[in-house]
Amino acid sequence: MMKFKNFSVLFIYPDNGQVGASFVRAENANHAFFGLAKRMARQGKDVDIICAIPMRYNRYLEYAGDGTVSSEVVLSQPEVFNA
């Protein structure tokens, strides 16, 4: 019997550089990559896959913004980032 694990697979949309993450249940990281690639293909999307992060206790990733956010911006906005 296969034991599935929870992964958060990080990827980049090559057309705009936006970073994304998707929850995938798979036996291992390679299967998580394949599962994400199939899901994106069904949606007509092509992505550049970065990595699969094993998720414990179904925790999800939190992002600082819609795309990358520089540390300079984070430090300049303590009211937003609760410093």
Average pLDDT of each block of 10 consecutive residues along the chain (83 residues)? 88 90 91 92 92 74 68 83 68
Per-residue DSSP letters for 20-68? EEEEEEESSHHHHHHHHHHHHHHTT---EEEEEEE-STT-----SSSS-
Q: Order the strands of the 19-26 sheet from edge to edge.
A: 19-26, 5-12, 48-54
**Contact predicate 25/6, CB 8 Å:** yes
Predicted local distance difference test score (pLDDT) of residue 58: 53
Structure tokens of 83?
């410093």
Number of structural domains (the chain) is 1
Give the global pTM: 0.70
Query: What pLDDT score was predicted for residue 82?
Result: 74
Predicted confidence at residue 73, as pLDDT, reads 82
Residue numbers of the domain that contains 10: 5-56+63-81
